[in-house]
Each structure stands twice: as structure tokens, then as C-alpha cells.
Amino acid sequence: MEMRPATHEEFDDFDRAVLAAFHREVTEEDRRAFRRTDEPERSLAWFDDGRIVAGTSVYTRHVTVPGAIVPCAAVTAVGVMPTHRRRGLLTALMRRQLENIRTAGEPVAALWASEGAIYGRFGYGIAARNASLTARRPVARLAAPPSVADPQRAGPAADHVEHMRAVYERVRGERPGMLDRPGAWWEARLHDPESERKGAQPLQALVVADGYALYAVRPDRDEDGPAGEVKIRELVAATPAARALLWDFLLDQDLTRKVTWSLAAADEPLWLMLTDPDAVRLVLQGSLWVRLVDVPAALRARGYAADPDVVLDVSDAFCPWNAGRYRLAGGACEPTDAEPGLALDASALGAAYLGGTLLTELAAAGRVTELRPGALARASAAFRADVVPWCPEIF
């Protein structure tokens, strides 16, 4: 067997093999969508007698972290054919991929996990959570309807890309976990084949001066009458007033019974905006996993709420170049022989990196050990972000 990148000519076979691992077949719509953003040169595949049986790839992106935006290897298309599982192929792919990411100079890798048990052993930590939101109509009503005069425009999503791009860029700079959308990434975000709508109408955009929402309505009817669903793909607001305008519109769609959003931010404040907070349900779920590929570079790249002034004893069996003690203080992160204040492994450090999973929480879970009194509270407060991390897209 051979491990190497798949070529452009081999990428249809690559996609088929990876999707087969998820019990899916590649459609023509899939092929067109993948071609927009695929980076074959950043793929890795196992070939068995010339046939691709496992693979993974990377998108070249940037991610917002507290106080900065850093290069990020967005890991995607990870799969092993059912005929070749339990042979160590995935472990070998992950190790080579992280070595390649390090060589490329990207200090951070991130991914969405299809199964949460897989990636912790490769040093990834759960760094963000999203919320699955369901609001019940007509009881979900804003307690303070918008009073600001702000023209609303709604129509096919593709007609409003430039406005949405500008709003997204404003918000992205302040929200850890959000990724840039260069090149064809906005086109990919609006991908809306009929085969994937599950009965919903074509994707629409609602735009106001400081916000936008991507949504579609799925008409339905039952014995009690109209039972349609407003399905939100993304809602981004730069101001509270814009958020209120967007929700006021989405909660007022005739012939619908509920509004759903599977990738809302964990701190989405809609429930606080309603006359009846119980009219909306938020179910938290893991979203973005983060892996520090170059520990000192990654820790230097982000900002801190205060000076951590701590020595970290980092263990990293999967990427041994990271293992060691580091003094994190005054914006610097350098190797040291000083006595450590905290001991933790790479996955715990990845979990804390975006500032949403607190070091104190990880310590309570037995994943961080305080070795010097006061080090845990000081470092946890320093790592904490002002805003809860959110990644609004699965890649």
C-alpha cells in the first residue's frame, strides 16, 4: 500500500472513497460543489493496488482566535473504506497530515468530528459548542419589537452576497471560531441543490443594514392546519438592533409553526428577547475541534485577557515536537526548564485555545493538573475569551 496526495485527475475517486466511508454516493451536484474548494495538493490518500481506500484533506483557511486571526488548516474529508478499517490507516494519515501542516507553517488545525471519540487521541480538543435552536410559533414573539426604521430586503441568496460578505467580515474579526471565506467559499456557503432541500423552498437571504439571515421555508400541513418550518442556515448580526429586525421577520412567517437553526451560537440570545423564553429550545452540541500543531507559535499568536505568567508542562504523544515546558508570559511563549504551574496534554490545550472551554472546567474534568497554587485561576482567566466561540459552517 502507498500513501500520497491524490492528483486532480484522481480526485473523483478520492471523493467517492471518502463518501463511501459515510455511506454516501457522489452525485453530480457533489462533484461540482467539491471542485470549487478542493485542494488536491493538500490531500492524503491510501492506495491499495491503485485503488483509494482511505483519505483526508485540508482547506487553507484563517480562524479568528481571541485578539487575532491565525492561519488554520481546516481538516476535512476524513474517511476509511469499511473494507480497510482497524488497520491503522487513519492514524498514519493523521500523523502525516499534522507533519505536513507543521511544515506549511500553520500553527493550528481544526475540524468537525463525525464521531466525538475519534480525534482526541490525535491531540484535538473540543473548543467550541453550537446550539440546535427550535422556536415555536406563534408563541415565540419579541418582547420589544424593533422600532428602528431599517429597510429590509429579501430574495434569492445569491443576489445579496456582497452585503453579506461585508457584514460577515465585521463580525468575524470579533468572534473566535469563525473562518475566513476567500475565493469560492461564499459560493460554497450558498450551495443549495434541490436534492438536499428535503422539501424546503430555494435558499433566501434577508438583509438589513447591519445583518443578514440565510433561510428557507419548508411548507407543510397536518390535521391542525399549516405546519411549515423556517429553516435558518445562518444569521449574522453586527448589532442588537439588526438581530431584532432579523428575528422579527423570521418569527412572523405565515403558514409556519416553527423556526429551526441547527448551527446557532451557544450564546444565541433569542430566548432573552421573547415574551415567553420557554418558546425557544437550545440544545448544546460539540462543534469545532482544535489542535495546536506548533504549541509556542499558536500560543504567541493569540491574545489574552491578562498576562497568564504561567509555565505549562505540555504532553503530546502524537506530535512529540510539542512536548515540553513553556513559559507563557508577556506575549511570549518560550521553552523553559522552570518548574511548571500547570500540566496538561495537547487535547486539553486545543480545547482551551479559543477561550470557550475554560482551563478550570478542564481541571474539574481531571484533564489539567495545577502544580503551583494560583496558576490555574490566573491562566484560566487569561485564556478566557470575551465572546463565546462560534463556527457557523461545517467544512
Cα end-to-end span (Å), the chain = 28
Give pLDDT tens digits for 110-143: 999 999 899 999 999 999 999 999 999 999 999 9
What does the mean pLDDT of the chain come to?
Answer: 96
pLDDT category of residue 29 using cuts at 50, 70 and 90: confident
State the CB neighbour count (10 A cutoff) for residue 278: 10
281 inside domain: yes
pLDDT category of residue 28 using cuts at 50, 70 and 90: confident
340 inside domain: yes
Number of independent structural domains in the chain:
3
Q: In the predicted model, what is the mean pLDDT of residues 181-206?
A: 96
**173 and 134 together in one domain:** yes
Residue 18 pLDDT greater than 90, yes or no = yes
Backbone angles phi, psi at 87, to 5 degrees: -120, 5
Closest CA to 349 of 288, 286, 285, 295: 295
Give pLDDT tens digits for 280-334: 999 999 999 999 999 999 999 999 999 999 999 999 999 999 999 999 999 999 9
CATH for 48: 3.40.630.30
pLDDT category of residue 274 using cuts at 50, 70 and 90: very high
| DSSP assignment letter at 114 | S
pLDDT of residue 147: 78
**275 and 156 together in one domain:** yes
Q: Could you tell me where the DSSP H helices lie in 224-345?
A: 240-250, 270-273, 295-301
In terms of Cβ atoms closer than 10 Å to its own Cβ (0-12, 13-18, 19+), residue 225 is: exposed
Give pLDDT tens digits for 222-255: 999 999 999 999 999 999 999 999 999 999 999 9
**41 and 25 together in one domain:** yes
**353 and 302 together in one domain:** yes
Question: Catalytic annotation on 318?
Answer: no
State the CB neighbour count (10 A cutoff) for residue 205: 22
Pairing of strands 108-112, 68-80: parallel
State the CB neighbour count (10 A cutoff) for residue 180: 17
**375 and 321 together in one domain:** yes
pLDDT category of residue 152 using cuts at 50, 70 and 90: confident
pTM equals 0.95
**216 and 267 together in one domain:** yes
118 inside domain: no
Residue 37 pLDDT greater than 90, yes or no = yes
Query: Which candidate in 47, 59, 119, 122 is catalytic?
Result: 119
Backbone angles phi, psi at 319, to 5 degrees: -125, 80
Q: In the predicted model, what is the mean pLDDT of residues 98-109?
A: 98
Coil, helix or strand at residue 248: helix
Give pLDDT tens digits for 343-394: 999 999 999 999 999 999 999 999 999 999 999 999 999 999 999 999 999 9
Q: Which residues contact 253 (CB under 8 A, 6 or more apart)?
A: 137, 217, 228, 230, 259
CATH for 357: 3.30.1050.10
Residue 15 contacts residue 76 (beta carbons within 8 Å): no
Work out the percent of the chain whose per-residue pLDDT is above 70: 99
Q: State the Rg of the chain over Cα.
A: 22
**178 and 265 together in one domain:** yes
**349 and 268 together in one domain:** no
| C-alpha span between 272 and 293 (Å, rounded) | 39
Q: In the predicted model, what is the mean pLDDT of residues 197-202?
A: 96
Q: In the predicted model, what is the mean pLDDT of residues 40-48?
A: 98
Which residues span the domain enclosing 259? 130-285
| DSSP per-residue string spanning 286-318 | E-EEEEESSHHHHHHHS--SS---EEEEEE-SS
| C-alpha span between 204 and 374 (Å, rounded) | 51
Residue 148 pLDDT greater than 80, yes or no = no
Q: In the predicted model, what is the mean pLDDT of residues 48-73?
A: 98
232 inside domain: yes
| C-alpha span between 86 and 233 (Å, rounded) | 36
Question: Catalytic annotation on 168?
Answer: no
Give pLDDT tens digits for 210-220: 999 999 999 99
pLDDT of residue 150: 73
pLDDT category of residue 21 using cuts at 50, 70 and 90: confident
pLDDT of residue 344: 98
Domain stop point among 285, 318, 348: 285
**159 and 266 together in one domain:** yes
pLDDT of residue 289: 98
**161 and 243 together in one domain:** yes
**225 and 148 together in one domain:** yes
Closest CA to 257 of 90, 163, 82, 137: 137
Residue whose entry in the numeric block shows the C-alpha cell 432579523: 246
In terms of Cβ atoms closer than 10 Å to its own Cβ (0-12, 13-18, 19+), residue 28 is: exposed
Coil, helix or strand at residue 374: coil
The three cell numbers locating residue 87 = 488497520
Residue 344 contacts residue 314 (beta carbons within 8 Å): yes
124 inside domain: no
349 inside domain: yes
The three cell numbers locating residue 141 = 414573539
| C-alpha span between 356 and 350 (Å, rounded) | 11
116 inside domain: no
179 inside domain: yes
**210 and 139 together in one domain:** yes
